Amino acid sequence: MCYGRNNNFTGGMGMLVLDFINVGNGDAILVREMDGDTQRFAMLVDCGHDALERDDHPGLNDPNSRRIYAGDFLRKNGVTHLDILLLTHFHRDHVGGLERVLEAVTVGELLTTYLPPADAAPLDPDGDNGLPKAARNFLRCMDLYAIPLHRHAGRIARRTELKGNRPVTLMLTPELTMDILFGEPALYPRQKELCDAAFRGERDGYDLIHWAKSMNVSSLRQRLYYHGREIVLGGDAYAHMWETCTATPCEILKVPHHASLSSTTRKLLNLLQPKTAVVCVAARRPDERPHPYIISLLREFTDDVRFTDAVEIPGLVKPVYHESVHLELS
């Protein structure tokens, strides 16, 4: 499947600019094709968390921190319109920042694996204490997604629900192409069934818990092709889901799932051979993300391993403070 996008281009070589935004927890990746100071095309992949500090993580307590909400980063960099907003899955650290993003920009097209009913009422997860905590957390994630879509409906021109049954190829610009890759195809109809039922008020705690544990398995991945070079954005996909797929060497790898222990393997990295690896992760996470073994493994393949936040692993990683990992490809 191939779609044409954004045909208003002038001649001349552009530049692909990627900003892996330091949202603290989660992913928010801004992809722009630029012609000098003129934005030809812009896409945001995920929106980060709704808080710069999670209440289940240690306090930041770092006056040098450069964490920034995705919406604020867009404003600060003069981005007022996104041609595409792509959501890989519905965990809070990927969709929680949607409200601020839609306050900052208009969107040409939303690409997602689930669209809530147009008349969907808030799910109010905290009002249903009969549900297990994991089930309520899933409903909270869906509220953080569905409420901004309803509140800012006029700021999104087109909404597309991706079916997940086969890869999608989009020609974003004459120079930039993107493949969207899915998890197990059977997951997406199940996701729709469970979410539609939740918005109807039908809530099975057992089913919701099991789906909450499957969300990373349903995470989208993207391969971008620009001037013969490949950028791989791994979402939160676990390595075992795609290390047997046909993967080719890439210029840039966004390491999946915040460089957790399950995020990558030697087999997968042998296929990808990244020249630059970027880890979207909060500093001082209490759950070994990034995992020291994964960072050591990445450094067997590239010396250029970067982190969105000021991660420090004694003897392995020194903290670097910035609002984004900023990369340019010409």
Q: Domain with 275 in it: what CATH number?
A: 3.60.15.10
* CA 285 and chain centroid, separation: 18
In the numeric block, which tokens belong to residue 8?
């208003």
For the cut 90, the answer to whether the pLDDT of residue 236 exceeds it is yes
Say if residues 42 and 32 touch (Cβ distance below 8 Å).
yes
Render pLDDT for 61-85 as a digit per residue (tens, 0 to 9).
678 899 999 999 999 999 999 999 9
Q: Residues with Cβ < 8 Å from 293, sequence gap 6 or more?
A: 261
Render pLDDT for 249-293 as a digit per residue (tens, 0 to 9).
999 999 999 999 999 999 999 999 999 999 999 998 888 899 999
Higher-pLDDT residue of 89, 119: 89
Please report the pLDDT score of residue 56 as a whole number.
Answer: 59
- pLDDT-based confidence at 122, cuts 50/70/90? very high
**What is the SS3 string spanning 202-254?**
CCCHHHHHHHHCCCHHHCCEEEEEECCEEEEECCCCCHHHCCCCCCCCCCEEE
Mean pLDDT over residues 317-326, rounded? 96
The verdict on residue 130 lying in a domain is: yes
Inter-CA distances, 25 with 60, 69, 70, 258, Å: 12, 10, 11, 9
For the cut 70, the answer to whether the pLDDT of residue 3 exceeds it is no
Mean pLDDT over residues 198-215, rounded? 90
The verdict on residue 2 lying in a domain is: no
- 2-4 and 156-161: which strand pairing? unpaired
Mean pLDDT over residues 108-137, rounded? 90
Please report the pLDDT score of residue 161 as a whole number.
Answer: 98
Ranking 98-102, 114-118, 239-243 by mean pLDDT, the lowest is 239-243
- The residue among 168, 25, 30, 155 whose CA lies nearest residue 95 is 25
The verdict on residue 57 lying in a domain is: no
The verdict on residue 8 lying in a domain is: no
Q: Residues with Cβ < 8 Å from 288, sequence gap 6 or more?
A: 260, 261
The verdict on residue 82 lying in a domain is: yes
Please report the pLDDT score of residue 278 as a whole number.
Answer: 98
Please report the pLDDT score of residue 25 as a whole number.
Answer: 87
For the cut 90, the answer to whether the pLDDT of residue 151 exceeds it is yes
The verdict on residue 4 lying in a domain is: no
The verdict on residue 241 lying in a domain is: yes
For the cut 90, the answer to whether the pLDDT of residue 213 exceeds it is no
The verdict on residue 85 lying in a domain is: yes
Of the chain, the percentage scoring pLDDT greater than 70 comes to 93
- Number of H helices and E strands in the chain, helices first, is 8, 15
- The residue among 284, 294, 286 whose CA lies nearest residue 260 is 294
Segments in 55-132 forming alpha helices (H): 70-76, 92-95, 98-104
For the cut 60, the answer to whether the pLDDT of residue 137 exceeds it is yes
* Edge-to-edge strand list for the sheet holding 168-171: 2-4, 168-171, 176-181, 221-226, 229-233, 252-254, 276-279, 304-307
Please report the pLDDT score of residue 7 as a whole number.
Answer: 46
The span from the CA of 294 to the CA of 282, in Å, is 16
Mean pLDDT over residues 230-252, rounded? 90
The whole domain housing 211 covers 14-51+64-329
Render pLDDT for 37-65 as a digit per residue (tens, 0 to 9).
999 999 999 999 999 987 655 566 678 89
Q: Residues with Cβ < 8 Å from 249, sequence gap 6 or more?
A: 230, 271, 272, 273, 274
Split into its structural domains, the chain has a count of: 1
